[in-house]
Homo-oligomer: A and B are copies of this chain.
Amino acid sequence: MDKLIIVKIGGNVIDDDEKCMDFLKSFRAIEGKKILVHGGGKLATSLAEKLSVQQQLVEGRRITDAETLKIITMVYGGLINKNIVAQLQAFGCNAIGLSGADGNVIQAHKRVHASIDYGFVGDVDAVNASLLNNLLQQNITPVLCAVSHDGKGQLLNTNADTIAEETAKALAPFYAVDLLYAFEKAGVLQNANDESTAISELNTQSYAHLKANGAIFAGMIPKLDNAFNALRAGVHKVIIGKAETLTDLINGTSGTSIVHD
């Protein structure tokens, strides 16, 4: 089975031109088939401020209203996606930028919730593995932004972590998929305040143990639950770690690997 590396890059790298350039150089250097998934960082927030588009909160949750969706479509689908693609092309990586509407690559539905209307937020229904596969076979590198569509003409703001996870699952039948979450921390930390305490490997047993003793908590729990879901769905390995060390994350000398038991 061919190897496929899917990297999700966090906003903190997107927001920093120099970090982003370094990251794209390391990404370009990955041999073989690869996919990049990116979110948005602070650019969308700062554009919303400049345009006086207020952030809507309902019951403490952030809502994507029509104006915010326009900003997200412009910033994620246009500004960030096209600049990443142009830069990868300059580095000799034949990238193609896609929203979920393009080639129907990520189909989703507007989030259904008992009490909160999240607005134009999408939960993923299906990933078009056949199109992605076709591009990968031509040595083209898809660059996915965090925008999906509902198949009825509506674009939807969609969590980039979820897009990466769903894409990894959809391609797992065709490739040995490594899914990398490249973010600002060195991995899953034993001590949240000490970057040197990254756990090198985690399976369901060690995860349960670390949750029980309180070392893993808060925002890291849904992230790791998703990672284990991806493994159960056939993804080969999930790796979480610092974007600056992408090469080391891939060769396993940095970050936390979430692995099968």
| Contacts from A to B (Cβ < 8 Å) | 50-51, 70, 73-79, 81-83, 85-87, 89-90, 94-99, 101-104, 131, 134, 138, 140, 147, 149, 151-155
Contacts of A140 in B (CB 8 A): 103, 131
Contacts of A94 in B (CB 8 A): 103-104
- How far does the alpha carbon of A258 sit from the alpha carbon of B95 in the complex, in Å? 37
Identical copies in the complex: 2
Contacts of A138 in B (CB 8 A): 131, 134
Interface contact A153-B89, CB-CB below 8 Å: yes
- Given A79-B78, A134-B138, decide whether A95 and B102 contact each other with a Cβ distance below 8 A: yes
Interface contact A96-B89, CB-CB below 8 Å: no
With A77-B79, A78-B79, A82-B101 already in contact, 19 other A-B pairs whose C-beta atoms are closer than 8 Å: A50-B51, A70-B79, A73-B82, A73-B83, A74-B74, A74-B79, A77-B78, A77-B82, A78-B78, A78-B81, A82-B99, A86-B149, A86-B154, A89-B153, A95-B103, A96-B102, A103-B140, A131-B138, A134-B138
- How far does the alpha carbon of A104 sit from the alpha carbon of B83 in the complex, in Å? 13
- How far does the alpha carbon of A104 sit from the alpha carbon of B92 in the complex, in Å? 10
Interface contact A101-B85, CB-CB below 8 Å: yes
Residue of B nearest to A138 (CB): B134
- Given A94-B104, A98-B96, A101-B97, decide whether A155 and B89 contact each other with a Cβ distance below 8 A: no
Contacts of A149 in B (CB 8 A): 86, 89
Which residue in B50, B86, B90, B102 is a CB contact (below 8 Å) of A97?
B102
Contacts of A99 in B (CB 8 A): 82, 85, 97
Q: How far is the CB of A208 from chain B (nearest CB, A)?
A: 42
Interface contact B86-A79, CB-CB below 8 Å: no
Interface contact B78-A152, CB-CB below 8 Å: no
- How far does the alpha carbon of A147 sit from the alpha carbon of B85 in the complex, in Å? 12
Which residue in B90, B98, B134 is a CB contact (below 8 Å) of A151?
B90
Which residue in B50, B79, B95 is a CB contact (below 8 Å) of A73?
B79
Interface contact B151-A82, CB-CB below 8 Å: no
- How far does the alpha carbon of A155 sit from the alpha carbon of B95 in the complex, in Å? 14
